[in-house]
Structure 1
Amino acid sequence: MTSTIGRAIPRVEARDKVTGRAVYTADVAIPGLTHAVLVQSDIASGRVREESLLAAAAVAGAAPGVLHVITPLNCPTLKPPPSDMSDDMPLERRPPLSDLTVQYVGQHMAVVVADTLENASYAASLMRLDYDEHPAVLTADEVRAGGGRVDEGDGPIRHGLYWPDHFVKLEHEKLQDRRGPQDAPPGVEVSARFTTGINTHYPLELSATIAEWDGAQLTVHDTTRWIAGERRALASYLDMPEDDIRILAPLVGGAFGSKNFLWMHVALCAVAAREVQRPVKLVLTRHQMLTSTGHRPRTDQHVALVADNDGAIASTEHHTLTETSTVAHFCEPVGLSARFLYRSARMVVSHQVARINMATPCFMRGPGEAPGLFALEVAMDELAYQTGIDPVELRIRNDVDVDQPSGRPFAGRHLRQCYEIGAERFGWSERPMTPRSMRRRGVRVGWGTATASYAGRRMPASCRVTTFVDGTVEFASATHEIGTGVRTVMSQIAADAAGLPLSRVTFASGDSWFATAPYSGASQTTASVGSAVHAAAREWRSRVDGGASDPADLSFTVSTGGVDDAGPLSQSFGAHFCEVEVDEQIGRIAITRWVAVMDCGRVLNPTLARSQVVGGIVFGLGMALMESAPYDPRTARPIGEYYVPTHADVPAFDIDFIDTPDSALTEIGVRGIGEIGACGVPAAVGNALFHATGRRLRDLPITLEHLMIPFDEENADD
């Protein structure tokens, strides 16, 4: 039988999606459904007045169709989440509606439940709240300068600065690191400050939740990418057994990190449904998602590189100041790539986090690496010009085959190949080193490059196999179809390992009643769940070959473990090549051509893999050139619009893969591919813009104001 692995199999749910039959959370129809709408704070710091809360709730409660109004004054007591989840994840330590204090704009202050969405929305609009407003601390610089209150210790609300040690408690993702000589050696030095703005995920599907109680049993339909984690967190908030909760997430329409956790509105929806004894549906508005489902926080980075005249790096420093809320932990792990990407005898990496009065940030596509590689890779481009070495050659000269912090070899590192193949396909040898030396149709042209990298991750997962009398076999896991083709590649893995035609195999996901799976993030789903599916399919084939034919004997569950912390380190790499055109008269930037070569292990489905990389690059283009959530700097209220790339902003793509299996991470040889496409993209754009204009831009996003010719330069040379 011909293997399905490596073939461009169309997505199994494609027809349903393009014909509108696909069911997302907000599409689920339940008899007797009621609707909830959130009332949110419009101040950043203070305390809501109890009398105004009582009066506003009374007004809303008297509105047509209103069934119940929940406020901090009548909300059933919710327990805090498990400490390990709030310590490692951006899960808010303080349960929603648990006190009268306000910690950020957009904090939930009340929930209005009514018979229709229109009635709930109207009643919510009637709630006018009065506050005793306190001075808000809105930037990390204010905290570092001594503004605001000092840290209160281990309470749910905390202030001040702190130095987190690990990203997700893995040694190779340590956030504070000092190795080698204490002082930087002499040599050619680049030292610069870089900043990145607030990015928001802006997925096409709004976050939606439907909660329904049947006695003590709770069913939650949610737009989540972590069924198991949401179930555990909800059980903690509601003080009930996990086994009494069922989470359903049939399809998730994008997320980019924003749906990896349980957010506060989900718990409130469950509470509302219990209070009114009817199913409740709660859908966030686009505006509410700016403050209710996370964002990528601002970063302030300092990178210093020292090299000898031949370009050999002798010292690397990467220091980061970033932000989180006063009620949750999160650190954007910006400096991780600096610890291993290039050979360096001395490395100093640090991360400092300021607690401010803004909504809780969270993981966003390429967390850490996307903003961190912007700074590191632009600094590498600067070093190339300081030493007079071609930017590609400089990176190749400093390539390394072991993880320097641990000394562990990489399971497969083909970065040199990525650069060699990419440079050939792009025509890099024709690039003049001198900035402002390329023109086309009266505008400047520039070529830039940057390295992409993202960790290869794998966590424990399970797969349930059910064999039916008609000969079809269902593989099922409580993982998630987030638009990346999970159901398709899992079907391919199962069919290949079981020796079955694809027509006899199905893969089911999105239900906590299925075998357990990790969150769908950090580019780990294919490696984690795919390993369980592969093992289950191999076991199925073994039983068939052993003579089993009864469907009952061919129905079982298989579990697999996580990554081996003692073996070779799995890391994906890639090389981006970018061409830009810049019209300096009007500041117009056009990305015209892009070549990317990726080393992501074995490629299971080239169409889906290419789509993931292209999507990641477009994501990175938005980060580079337009995406920055606008907030009033005095009040922290969201203002204006949030711009994202459209089809008109997309260049011609040439995407290639090394396609070498990583057998150290998984038996099927795969590593994740969802994150790496965005990593390095803003740097490649910034480096191309420098080549085109001679302007070194170190703050994101890069806008037209950065590139327009000042009036006194309009008649300057060429």
Structure 2
Amino acid sequence: MSQPQAAVGASVARVDARERVTGRTKYAGDNSPAGVVHAVIVDSTVGRGRVTGIDARAAEAQRGVLKVISHLNAPKLPPLTGGWPPPGALRAFQDDRVRFFGQPVAVVVAATLESAQHAASLVEVSYDARPVSTDLAAAPSASDPQTYARGDADGALGAADVKLDLAYRMARNHHNPMEPAGTVARWDGDRLTLWEKTNWVGGTVMTMAAEFGMPADKVRVIAPAVGGGFGSSGRTWVHTAIAAMAAREVKRPVKLVLTRRQTYFGVGYRPAYEYGLRLGSDRRGRLAASVHDVRSETSSYETYSESVLVPGRMLYHTPNVRQAYGPVPLDVNTPTFMRGPGYASGIYPIESALDELAHELGLDPIELRLRNEPSADEASGLPFSTRRLRECYRVGAREFGWHRRNPEPRSTRDGDWLIGMGMAAGVYDTQRGEAQVSVRLDADGTALLQSATSDMGPGTATSMTQVAADALGLTMRRVTFRLGDSLMPPATIHAGSRTMASVGSAVQDGCDKLRRQAITLAVGDKGSPLHGVAPADVVVRGGRLYDKSDPARGETYQRLLARNNLTHLETLGSYAGATGTEKFSFYAYAATFAEVAVDVTLGLVRVRRMVGVYDAARIISPKLADSQAIGAMIGGIGQALLEHTVTDHRDGRIVNANLADYLVPVHADIPTDLKAIYIDGEDYKADPIGVKGLGEIVIVGVAPAIANAVFNATGRRIRELPITPEALL
């Protein structure tokens, strides 16, 4: 870097921390434009069938009720074209079909939330109900699974010295962020403004433009803050269209926020999985073959699939691989991304099976993994841009004290508790997308950057401010980064760990351009102390431009702009997206270590400590990185031990659609000893700022590390998540 790096790499507080902790941050549902009214959705009480009648008379008679909208009186939406939203996506009140329990069948709009809630309870809906199919285990497999193969997996498996034939199951998980999904919609003539819970304002613009058959430039989406998402707000759901439709019908701004219960079927979830895995190896543990047969749930009206097969193709040297993955259509709402989508689910069977193979062979689990380290990506044939997984193992084993692990299961006790240690590897692809950022330097020496990116928790504004401050040679206090408005320069979706690489590279580009613009102005200005200096010799620090060979020779941005009668300098930074994909294989890696205690009598599992070591390339903000990593460890505890959506297969009703019955980790479940370590290094093959992304990789491998520790503690191999006390008794 030609510029001094003072902000990048520093553990700084979030730039918006005070606003968030004092409650001044506005989330979607906090917006109340003049004249706003409230909408409450009426949900179906059957899981499949048709609506045969809707009696809204009692609701419409209530004081303050403006309208009840259903398929009986909803405006007809134009046909979707161009593949956006996704083919088959649920649309607002366009027919009488019921596709899943909880599907919106009507919406009540009233002057107050309370009157809308009461009126919604008075809407009577009759149905022609049909039998439902919601049980993945009982449903037939998809007829056209996704497949992958290399070598002769069946032949190599048959000839292998050691064979494992294993079956794993993973329960459906729901995101449960603090902020529920919600929308405030307002029409100004033919223009639609949405205050929306979304981590992709551009995606919501495209969806709403398609839904209502209008130009995209007539839609504005505002989402400067997202109160957690974990993937649930990565696409636009039907309630957003319902709010916009209701606002247009009543000619008033409409606020619609889902209840906690409604978030269980109003937005997506991590789908349940069945994963059959067969492994073959020689007696030294070198893998010869793997066969993966995977099924997951999806909706009957839309197909959702994710990258669940990728780890099995490239994580370990395996000459012969065969894979099949079939999403199974069920009478459920559509699944969606959830932190580490695909990879977090796919890594659990693989890393559990590796642990089983290590135990079968009498090998240390790390040694087995080292014996199967590939020299290149065997799925693509490409070299890795970087792969520091060996170092992750080494550092993690040292920091965790892996040498103290007794490989004999059920051999370590602490009173009534059985103690075990486990580990697992993790991988996640390095995603990047197009992004733009406007950069403006004002005459007072402050900078303003703007981009239509989002922040659902990682601290986007803070990390971008760090990059900008160093590139412009300013302190962080002199830089402001604004985001979350579709009127700002466009950016890729805030998901897939791609924001830092994508938007951060655009920030770097724009700030470099602006700094060079100021330097060019200074060295060509006869009134400047820097006149005649070679531009490459000028450095900016603390808002002052100076000759690096003669630091006393220089001036501030303020003096430079004032002398040239300029109110500001501005430019547009851009990043074109992923490059080098034909030359290199781009992934981030992790090694997670866990120690658990299992109560001998009750089967209760407590995680006592964890260490995560990550090859995520350059770390821009260590404090934010720790927040991501520790949060992911906690999320992984939920996936491994607690989280499980329970469905009544008689009608498709979600039984535990609340935070009392759907268990997530609370303080009593979380150890105080959680440690994240980042392997030094950059990956400038991936992007101009050398990062790989961190938000997803940190959860990939947590669940199998815990599961492997449970086996080491108890000698019981549980192949179903979550691992409940009942399974251990």
| TM-score bracket for the superposition, by shorter chain length | over 0.9
Provide the C-alpha distance between the structure 1 equivalents of 2:621 and 2:714, rounded to a whole number of angstroms.
39
Change beyond 3 A, Cα 1:618–1:83: farther
- Counterpart check, 1:555 vs 2:570: yes
Provide the C-alpha distance between the structure 2 equivalents of 1:233 and 1:472, rounded to a whole number of angstroms.
36
- Counterpart check, 1:393 vs 2:367: yes
- Matched with 2:535 is none
- Matched with 2:107 is 111
SS in 1 for 2:94: coil
SS in 2 for 1:519: coil
Provide the C-alpha distance between the structure 2 equivalents of 1:428 and 1:141, rounded to a whole number of angstroms.
38
Letter in 2 for 1:18: V
Provide the C-alpha distance between the structure 2 equivalents of 1:511 and 1:552, rounded to a whole number of angstroms.
25
* CA displacement at 1:291 relative to structure 2: 0.1
Runs of 4+ aligned structure 1 residues displaced above 4 Å come to 80-83, 550-553
- Matched with 2:127 is 131
SS in 2 for 1:546: helix
Partner of residue 44 from structure 1, selected from 34, 42, 47: 47
1:208-227 map, 5 Å: 208-227=182-201
Partner of residue 629 from structure 2, selected from 601, 613, 621: 613
Provide the C-alpha distance between the structure 2 equivalents of 1:630 and 1:183, rounded to a whole number of angstroms.
36
Provide the C-alpha distance between the structure 2 equivalents of 1:400 and 1:61, rounded to a whole number of angstroms.
67
* CA displacement at 1:2 relative to structure 2: 5.2
- Matched with 2:151 is 180
* CA displacement at 1:467 relative to structure 2: 2.7
CA contact (8 A) 2:36 2:255 kept: yes
- Counterpart check, 1:462 vs 2:433: no
CA contact (8 A) 2:84 2:206 kept: no
Partner of residue 229 from structure 2, selected from 251, 255, 259: 255
Letter in 2 for 1:36: A
SS in 1 for 2:323: strand
Q: Report Cα offsets for 1:632-656 as digits up to 9, x if no partner.
A: 1211111132110011111211211
Partner of residue 122 from structure 1, selected from 102, 106, 118: 118
- Counterpart check, 1:648 vs 2:668: yes
* CA displacement at 1:431 relative to structure 2: 1.4
- Matched with 2:652 is 636
* CA displacement at 1:553 relative to structure 2: 6.5
SS in 2 for 1:653: strand
* CA displacement at 1:555 relative to structure 2: 1.7
Provide the C-alpha distance between the structure 2 equivalents of 1:536 and 1:85, rounded to a whole number of angstroms.
31
Provide the C-alpha distance between the structure 2 equivalents of 1:473 and 1:689, rounded to a whole number of angstroms.
52
Change beyond 3 A, Cα 1:515–1:217: same
SS in 1 for 2:633: helix
Partner of residue 477 from structure 1, selected from 409, 429, 451: 451
Provide the C-alpha distance between the structure 2 equivalents of 1:204 and 1:570, rounded to a whole number of angstroms.
33
Partner of residue 319 from structure 1, selected from 293, 296, 305: 293
Aligned identity (percent) is: 40
CA contact (8 A) 2:153 2:291 kept: no
* CA displacement at 1:208 relative to structure 2: 1.3
Letter in 2 for 1:632: D
Q: Which moved more, 1:186-195 or 1:115-124?
A: 186-195
Letter in 2 for 1:661: E
Q: How much is the aligned-residue C-alpha RMSD, in angstroms?
A: 1.5
SS in 1 for 2:620: coil
SS in 1 for 2:610: strand
* CA displacement at 1:92 relative to structure 2: 4.8
- Counterpart check, 1:576 vs 2:597: no
- Matched with 1:677 is 698
1:248-327 map, 5 Å: 248-327=222-301
- Counterpart check, 1:600 vs 2:616: yes
1:2-13 map, 5 Å: 3-13=6-16
Change beyond 3 A, Cα 1:83–1:627: farther
Q: Report Cα offsets for 1:154-205 as digits up to 9, x if no partner.
A: xxxxxx64424xxxxxxxxxxx210012533222111100000110000000
SS in 2 for 1:210: strand
CA contact (8 A) 2:505 2:687 kept: yes
Q: Which moved more, 1:113-122 or 1:459-468?
A: 459-468
- Counterpart check, 1:431 vs 2:405: yes
- Matched with 1:705 is 726
Letter in 1 for 2:666: T
- Matched with 1:171 is none
Q: Report Cα offsets for 1:11-62 as digits up to 9, x if no partner.
A: 000011111111111111311110000011011110000xx21xx2222212
Provide the C-alpha distance between the structure 2 equivalents of 1:234 and 1:81, rounded to a whole number of angstroms.
11
Q: Report Cα offsets for 1:116-140 as digits up to 9, x if no partner.
A: 0000000000012110111212123
Letter in 1 for 2:151: G
Provide the C-alpha distance between the structure 2 equivalents of 1:85 and 1:390, rounded to a whole number of angstroms.
49
Letter in 2 for 1:105: F
Q: Which moved more, 1:311-320 or 1:5-14?
A: 311-320
Letter in 2 for 1:558: G
CA contact (8 A) 1:198 1:298 kept: yes
Change beyond 3 A, Cα 1:2–1:387: closer
- Counterpart check, 1:206 vs 2:180: yes
SS in 2 for 1:603: coil
Q: Structure 1: which 5+ residue stretches go unaligned?
A: 146-159, 165-175, 709-718
TM-score, normalised by the number of residues in structure 2:
0.91
Q: Report Cα offsets for 1:367-426 as digits up to 9, x if no partner.
A: 111111111100000110111110011011111131111111111100000001100111
Provide the C-alpha distance between the structure 1 equivalents of 2:653 and 2:62, rounded to a whole number of angstroms.
28
Letter in 2 for 1:613: A
* CA displacement at 1:551 relative to structure 2: 5.3
* CA displacement at 1:465 relative to structure 2: 1.4
Letter in 2 for 1:642: Y
Provide the C-alpha distance between the structure 2 equivalents of 1:85 and 1:208, rounded to a whole number of angstroms.
21
Q: Which moved more, 1:243-252 or 1:634-643?
A: 634-643
Letter in 2 for 1:125: S
- Matched with 2:553 is none
TM-score, normalised by the number of residues in structure 1:
0.92
Provide the C-alpha distance between the structure 1 equivalents of 2:226 and 2:81, rounded to a whole number of angstroms.
25
- Counterpart check, 1:686 vs 2:707: yes
Change beyond 3 A, Cα 1:260–1:421: same
Q: Which moved more, 1:432-441 or 1:71-80?
A: 71-80
* CA displacement at 1:494 relative to structure 2: 0.8
CA contact (8 A) 1:318 1:348 kept: yes
Letter in 2 for 1:683: P
Provide the C-alpha distance between the structure 2 equivalents of 1:138 and 1:328, rounded to a whole number of angstroms.
15
- Matched with 1:713 is none
Provide the C-alpha distance between the structure 2 equivalents of 1:593 and 1:18, rounded to a whole number of angstroms.
28
CA contact (8 A) 1:443 1:581 kept: yes
Letter in 1 for 2:345: P
